[in-house]
Chains A and B, each alone.
Chain A
Amino acid sequence: MDITGRKLFVRALQEEGVDTLFAYPGGMINELTDELYKADSIRVVLGRHEQGVVHEAEGYSRETGRTGVVLVTSGPGATNTITAIADAHYDSIPLVVFTGQVPQNLIGNDAFQEVDIVGMTHSVVKYGVTVRNRDDLGRIIKMAFFIASTGRPGPVLIDIPKDIQIQSGSSEYPDTVDIRGYKPISGVHIGQLKKAYKLLSQAERPMILAGGGINIGHANEALTEFVHKMGLPVVTTIMGRGAIPTDDPYFIGNLGLHGSFASNKAVSECDVLFSIGTRFNDRITGDLNEFAPHAKIIHVDIDTSSISRNVVVDVPVVSDAITALVKMMEWAKPLKIQSWIEEINNLKSEYPLEMKKKKETLCPETIIDGINTCFKEATVVTDVGQHQMWTSQFLAMRKGTKLITSGGLGTMGFGLPAAIGAKIADPDRCVICITGDGGMQMNMQEMATAVTNNAAVIICIFNNQYLGMVRQQQQLFYGKRYEITCLRRRTGCSPDCKGPSDACPPYVPDYVKWADSYGVSAVRVESEEAIIPTFEQAEKVTKAKKIPFLIEFMISSDELVLPMVKNGSPISDMIL
């Protein structure tokens, strides 16, 4: 029996096991949302802006490992998703984004709310297509879920014109799909992996570099076991934070522009760098000519196009992280590298990772330590900026901790909605959003989504009254010319301002009053003693009231993220 496109759409979501759909309505998806009204098995979460909606789906996906699903309308609804789709693309988050489209007879007419969203997004999706025949609808949706979640995961965009939604056609939704241009990699080339293992096992100064692929591929335990079996030191990227627990004796620290002294030095001096699930982004490598200059590089990655892209690799291995690690475990034997380990430990104690505490102001490290103390199991979601770097440096990653952050694209405004998505996915889990006062304002409308969906997130705003990451660059490299980074600055301020004084205008908004307007409790914390009790209060209130709790931590404007490597310098050349 034939059914309409809108019926098949909902049926397809049900067949794919979609339990939550993040959506924002509009004229070109009225047919689809009307059909969803009848489908009780799918929870439809209404966001407040399409960018937030997609970040929520990203948070949902990161929390569950499942594909995040989004439905928005045509035109501005579609264009508003692009930043968040690009974010998912860089950080390998599986999403299926459905956009409504004007009827096909109007496409090309500059019809009301018509945009070529497939054309606009093709460089930031894994696959994108407009459904042009009703009979293709089922196959295309099946393709979308398959492509998004396999291989290196990523976003897929399916644009559905209104006439396709109404038109009748086959009711069939295929069980499988065969795509001649897309064959995700399974298994691993054993010969190549043996070559990699041999190189690693003969190393005198080996180092493991673990990226986000470990977390995405759920290879954390396999990596930890492998590392212990061979006795190998490990550094991680930001996305790879938690690849092994941060209190593990073999964990050295983060690598890169804000990596630890020991990590950056050790990678610069190692003789074999075994990297797995990383893209060698420029934030990791610094000056490419000086990156791991003495090392043979092994690179294990599921994505062939990530291999030998940024750094020249000696032994490439195309494989899922867990497949490669489980296989290598069979061969693993302890290495005799005691002097190398001691050398690294000396580097660690020479410049340990810690912030200098000032007497009169709150130290970001102390706040994050408070989280480490109060929350044994939690998902921590950050925004982008200084607070993100501090979190990546000081958040203790244990078995029960998860860190969700925007790594590749560095999308300010990611934090709050992604945290909401994670909390919606897993309401019983403690979800903490760490954000800056800049990033918070980029998607603060999503507070309403949190309140109306019982997404009881603990929101921690690190308020330094500046756009701190750029301010830091201005402070160190641009003669303290704080152009457009002061969030207190108003018309009438001195054109030559070199930093805050008592004469500065008040900060807007008042976050405590703002939260109150949503019925959300909020506390401003200005002393160290208040940190732990406030976290305890936040935990209690979020559990009881099922709505968010906001904490505004007032921190000093001139706190810096250190160590740091100046853009374009070698990673061993650090400002400490």
Chain B
Amino acid sequence: MDRNVTDRWIALYVENEVGVLAMVSGLFSGKSYNLRSLTVGTTERDDISRMTIEVESDDITFEQIKKQLNTMVEVIKVIDLTEVKMHMNEIMYAVIPGIDTEKKSEVFRIAQVFHLKPIDIDEHTVMLLSSLAPDKNDDLVKLLKRTFHRIEITRGGAVAVESLNNK
């Protein structure tokens, strides 16, 4: 059987209550689902939060994950984003320390190409803000690692929302 293990995305509407995040993440660890990323924030309603979840799984496990999430009383709605057109971005900070002027220009060149924002700087360090899609951030991290001696990366996890023109 083709296991078809791949990255998949879920948007989850949940009750904005104490302990719900722990219950959702606990489901993933308890049942050995491979959780790649989970972000959460409130919606236009104070009592409802929305999560963006990335999992790596095969087809059968993914169906089971959606069903298990649906059985949770605190889960209001499960949306499978895998086959849906969506906007997806991730906040990522990249700090490049210990660089000379020449390397600094290199940082700015990369920032320009990737549409990154230099948001902080001192004599030997530059901090960049990226809000690219997570796979683009992956590429960026690889490039920075290759180019510079040392980097510090802080990633926020992906937030996804369905496109307006989904049929």
Residues of A at the B interface (CB closer than 8 Å) are: 118-119, 122-123, 126-127, 129-130, 132, 143, 147, 179-182, 303-305, 308-309, 312
Contacts and interface: CB of A to CB of B under 8 A. Distances in A.
Contacts of A143: 73
A455 to B, nearest CB: 34
B113 interface: no
Contacts of A309: 64, 67
A325 to B, nearest CB: 24
A122 B18 contact: no
Contacts of B84: none
B19 A119 contact: yes
Given A130-B18, A305-B64, A122 B26 contact: yes
Contacts of B153: none
Interface of A is mostly: loop
A305 B30 contact: no
Given A179-B73, A304-B70, A305-B64, 9 more contacts: A119-B19, A122-B26, A130-B19, A132-B18, A181-B14, A181-B73, A303-B71, A305-B68, A308-B63
Contacts of B75: 181
Interface of B: 14-15, 17-19, 22-23, 26-27, 30, 60, 63-64, 67-68, 70-76
A119 B67 CA distance: 21
B23 A122 contact: yes
What are the nearest 7 A-B pairs in CB distance?
A305-B67, A127-B73, A182-B73, A123-B30, A181-B76, A181-B73, A122-B23
B58 to A, nearest CB: 12
29 contacts: A119-B19, A119-B22, A122-B22, A122-B23, A122-B26, A123-B30, A126-B73, A127-B73, A129-B17, A129-B19, A130-B18, A130-B19, A132-B18, A143-B73, A179-B73, A180-B76, A181-B14, A181-B72, A181-B73, A181-B74, A181-B76, A182-B73, A304-B70, A304-B71, A305-B64, A305-B67, A308-B64, A309-B64, A309-B67
Nearest to B69: A305
A180 B15 CA distance: 9
Contacts of A123: 26-27, 30
Given A122-B26, A181-B76, A305 B71 contact: yes
B22 to A, nearest CB: 6
B60 A308 contact: yes
Contacts of A308: 60, 63-64
Given A305-B68, A308-B60, A147 B18 contact: no
A312 B23 CA distance: 27
A196 to B, nearest CB: 19
Contacts of B70: 304-305
A304 B63 CA distance: 10
B60 A312 contact: yes
A54 B60 CA distance: 35
Nearest to A304: B67
Nearest to A151: B71
Nearest to B63: A308
Contacts of A130: 18-19
